[in-house]
Amino acid sequence: MAVPKRKTSKARKRQRRAHQSLTAPAHSTCPNCQAPTIPHRICASCGTYKGEVILASNNE
């Protein structure tokens, strides 16, 4: 079994983990109802996409 010859320093360990940070999810606002939505998806609150009604909502 392989055993490390030297202890991994804090700097080397942190440099290796520098690319593992999380990115915030992208979001935009719906042009129809101004609700926050995920880009390139149907709006969950009003059911529109690119100005067209895709899903008929029950509250309308």
- The pLDDT assigned to 52 comes to 84
- The pLDDT assigned to 56 comes to 79
Residue 15 domain-assigned (yes or no): no
Point out the residues of the chain with pLDDT beneath 50: 60
Residue 11 domain-assigned (yes or no): no
pTM above 0.75, yes or no: no
Rounded CA-CA distance 25/27 in Å is 6
Residue 18 domain-assigned (yes or no): no
Residue 46 domain-assigned (yes or no): yes
Residue 6 domain-assigned (yes or no): no
Residue 56 domain-assigned (yes or no): yes
Please give the tally of structural domains in the chain. Answer: 1
Contact (Cβ atoms closer than 8 angstroms) between residue 39 and residue 28: yes
- The CA-CA-CA angle for residues 43, 52, 49, to 5°, reads 30
Q: Which domain holds residue 44?
A: 27-60
Residue 2 domain-assigned (yes or no): no
